[in-house]
Each structure stands twice: as C-alpha cells, then as structure tokens.
Structure 1
Amino acid sequence: MAIHDTSSVVGATAAYGSEALAVGTVVKLARALWIVPLALAFSLLHQSHERAKTPPFILAFVAACLHSLFPHPNPLWTALAGIARQALTVTLFLIGAGLSRPLLQRVGFAPLTLGISLWLLAGTLSLAAVRLG
C-alpha cells in the first residue's frame, strides 16, 4: 500500500514470487479503481461539466474482475493473459527507461534500433563470457 506507482508494485512483489505478484497487483489496481468514483464525486461537488477521463487499464482491470467472478477455461482469456503479461513487461521497460511515444517520435527510429542492437550484442557477449568461464 505504501508504493504509489503500479510498475513499482509489480517489480517489488515479483521478487517474492508469483502469488505475491498476483496479490500485490490486484490490491494496487483495486486501489487505483477508486480514481473513477472519486473523480466523478469531485466533478459533481465542483459542478464541473468536463468529462472525467478513465484510463484504459482501469477498464481492462474491471473486465478481468468480471471474468474472475465467472471463471471458466477459455483459450481466448489464456491468450489475452499472455499478451497482457508481455505488454506489461514492455510498458515497465519503457517507464524505467524514461521513454514515451512523443520522445520516441521526436528522436526517431535509428537511435532506438542502435540502442537495441547494442543491448543485444552486450547481452550476448556477456552471456557467452559467463558460460565459457
């Protein structure tokens, strides 16, 4: 409860295993769900006519909660869970690296390709050095 951003919660709980990761992520996202009713309540209190924006991950989390109420084996949900896991990994990497869509568009594709290539080269050489002793 003391960690404020979702990516840090995922990183911190993953160190303690898959069950801790699942519980920590659900607790953090459940806490984040309070954004919606609070935003609506404050807009009513302040008589704002602006529409509150709901982040897409909140909608996905609500869908996952609804699915957990009526669990049944479904290949579609298994595939979606795998895609979500990969998307979360990419998102956490981008957050950790301080990269955003506008920044990537401004910098261009060539530096990103160079960085990924150098990362793969360094990783491969390091792995080879460790394996060869």
Structure 2
Amino acid sequence: MVGAPVLAIVGGMLAGPLARRRRWAIDPGARFAGRYVLQAAIVIFGLGLSLAAVVRIGVSSLPVMLGTLAACFAVAALAGRALGVPADLRLLIGSGTGICGASAIGAIAPVIAAGEAAIGYAMSTIFVFNLLAVLIFPAVGHLLGLDAASFGLWAGTAINDTSSVVAAGYAYSRAAGDEAVAVKLVRALMIIPLVLAVALARHRAPAGDTGGCGVPVRPAAGPSGKERVAGRLRVSRLVPTFIPLFLLAAAVNTLGLVPDRARDGLGLAATVALAVAMAGIGLGISTGDLRRSGIRPLLLGGLLSLTVAVTGLGLQTLFM
C-alpha cells in the first residue's frame, strides 16, 4: 500500500516543474515545509510515544545500527578508492549514507574543509537515494513480510535522511513509523562522535598527508586555543533541533499530560503535517539536482545504500 507521504512527495515532484515554468515562487514555502513542518510532524508523533519505549527501541537497535555504520564506512573506503572517488568526497558520502544524510554532510564538511563541489556532489548523491528509499523500502518490506517493528528498525538504520525515514516508516504503518523515528534519533546522535573523531584525526595528520587519491588532509582545528575551545562548545549544535523536542513530547505523554480524547486528533495532525512536508520536499526537487552527482559518486552512493540495507536486514536476523 502506498501511503500519504509517498504520494505527497511524488505529487510535489510532478508539480514542481510546472510551477517553475510558470515562475511561481515556490522555493521559500517548499523549504519551510521540508524543514520546519517536518520537524513539527515528528514532535507531534512523539506525543503518542512513551519515553521508556523510545529509550528501549534506541538501545535495542544499537547492534544493528553500529554494524551498518561499520559496514558503510568500510565499503566507502575500499570501494570509493577503487572507483577513484576522492577521499573527502567518499568520507562525505559515507557519513551521509551511514548516519544522517545532509545533516552529517553539513557537519563533516567544515571539519575537513571540503570544497563546494565535493559538498554539492555528496548532497546530490544522498538525495537521489533518499528519494529511491521512500519509494522502494515500503514495497520491499511488504514483499518480505516484515512486521512493524522489523520494518521500523530496518528503515531507521538503512535510510539516511530523517525526512525519508519518516516518510517510509509512516507509509508502512503508524507503528513502523514510531519505531523508525526512535531508531533514527539515536542514529542521528552518531554525528557527534564521528565529527570529533574526524577532527582529531585531521588535527593530528601531518600537513603533507593525503587521504587517498592524492587529496591533501588539512587540519580542521583553529590555530589558537580559544578557537579549539569554541569548537568544542559548538558540539551541542550538532544535535538536530527536533531530537530534544521529540524527547520532550514523549516525556509529556509519559507523564500522562496528553488527554486520551486528543490522541486521534494529534495523530491526524501529524499525518497531515508529514504529507505537507513531503510535498514541500518534492516541490524542491529538480532534474538538475538529480544529474549533478556524476557517475562515480552515484555508483558509490548506490553501493553504500545497498550495503546498509542488506547489512541491516542481515543483522536483524542475528541480534533481534
């Protein structure tokens, strides 16, 4: 069954070219919906979960999550080098695929002083496979007969961008969406140790070192102690805003502050907000973005997406 989020993003994609030809000013509204309305939908969904359930789901997902991350970065290093993808670009694509899509790319890019071209290639590559995941994962999940918990864990650990995780999860079922969002919250926090590890490695690397394929490794830390302290203080900014708000919403529900008579209305409001957000994301899609990546980054992104998808399913059979 195709859910409202999938229909919304496809509808937005179809309407976007027509709107651009007629020069309608759709971009500001599409960006607002794709970011803020999406975050609002996630927070509203949190009002239907208990904090204990979120913690339980997050902790139980760690073996699968860490396994997919390890597989993703190993394949990114080996396959990326074999494909001739520059070191910075394969790190960006690996981080985006393994953790949190554009958020991870945005966090890693300044640490490695990535150029605009590398960031653009990585973002476009990640975007292509986000879109495919929304369309393919629910169909494959039904084909495999996955229950809500299994599909939610799979989507939360194998789809990289939050918007795509939410869309695919709630397109499958409400329970699968709740599971996927909780898993995704923990996965998004992996940005923090990754950024710290990369910053430490780059800071210690000699100035002449290369990260493979002849790409120089540049220290990310500033020259002064004050700048390094400031960088440490900015670690808190790596946590996406919706995570503490989602946890707060779950805590409000755990304390019994959400009336039973309001639950159906809140569920409907969250579903509508999610559809609006997906339509906004669809409106923002352009064929230029889809062509931007080039064949080698796309091949690497496809291989990594397949790696985390297959690894996620395989690890479920071992640990869950």
Q: TM-score, normalised by structure 2?
A: 0.25
CA offset digits 1:61-83 (Å, max 9, x no partner): 12123234423443797466554
| Aligned residue among 56, 63, 66 for 2:251 | 66
Which 5+ residue runs of structure 1 have no aligned equivalent? Answer: 100-133
Which residue of 2 is the match for residue 97 of structure 1?
Answer: 283
Q: Structure 2: how far apart are the matches of 1:72 and 1:32?
A: 27
Q: Which structure ranks higher in relative contact order (CA pairs < 8 Å, sequence separation ≥ 6)?
A: 2
Measured at CA, do residues 81 and 34 of structure 1 come closer, stay the same or move farther in structure 2, by a change above 3 Å?
A: farther
Measured at CA, do residues 60 and 77 of structure 1 come closer, stay the same or move farther in structure 2, by a change above 3 Å?
A: farther
Q: Are 1:28 and 2:184 an aligned pair? A: yes
CA-CA distance at 1:49 after TM superposition: 0.8
Which residue of 2 is the match for residue 87 of structure 1?
Answer: 273
CA offset digits 1:21-44 (Å, max 9, x no partner): 211122112322444xx27x83xx
Measured at CA, do residues 34 and 85 of structure 1 come closer, stay the same or move farther in structure 2, by a change above 3 Å?
A: farther
Measured at CA, do residues 8 and 97 of structure 1 come closer, stay the same or move farther in structure 2, by a change above 3 Å?
A: same
- Helix, strand or coil at the partner of 1:49: helix
Which residue of 1 is the match for residue 230 of structure 2?
Answer: 49
Once the two structures are aligned, what percentage of the paired residues are identical? Answer: 36
Q: TM-score, normalised by structure 1?
A: 0.51
Q: Are 1:15 and 2:171 an aligned pair? A: yes
Measured at CA, do residues 69 and 30 of structure 1 come closer, stay the same or move farther in structure 2, by a change above 3 Å?
A: farther
- Helix, strand or coil at the partner of 1:20: helix
Q: Name the count of aligned residue pairs.
A: 96
Q: Structure 2: how far apart are the matches of 1:81 and 1:48?
A: 43
Measured at CA, do residues 75 and 84 of structure 1 come closer, stay the same or move farther in structure 2, by a change above 3 Å?
A: same
Q: Structure 2: how far apart are the matches of 1:95 and 1:19?
A: 23
Computed over aligned residues only, the root mean square deviation of the Cα atoms, in angstroms, reads 3.6
Q: Superposed, which structure 2 residues align to 1:105-120 within 5 Å?
A: none
Q: Structure 2: how far apart are the matches of 1:59 and 1:73?
A: 18
Measured at CA, do residues 76 and 58 of structure 1 come closer, stay the same or move farther in structure 2, by a change above 3 Å?
A: farther
Moved over 3 A (4+): 75-86
Query: Do 2:163 and 2:278's aligned partners in 1 also have CA atoms closer than 8 Å?
Result: yes
Q: Structure 2: how far apart are the matches of 1:65 and 1:83?
A: 16
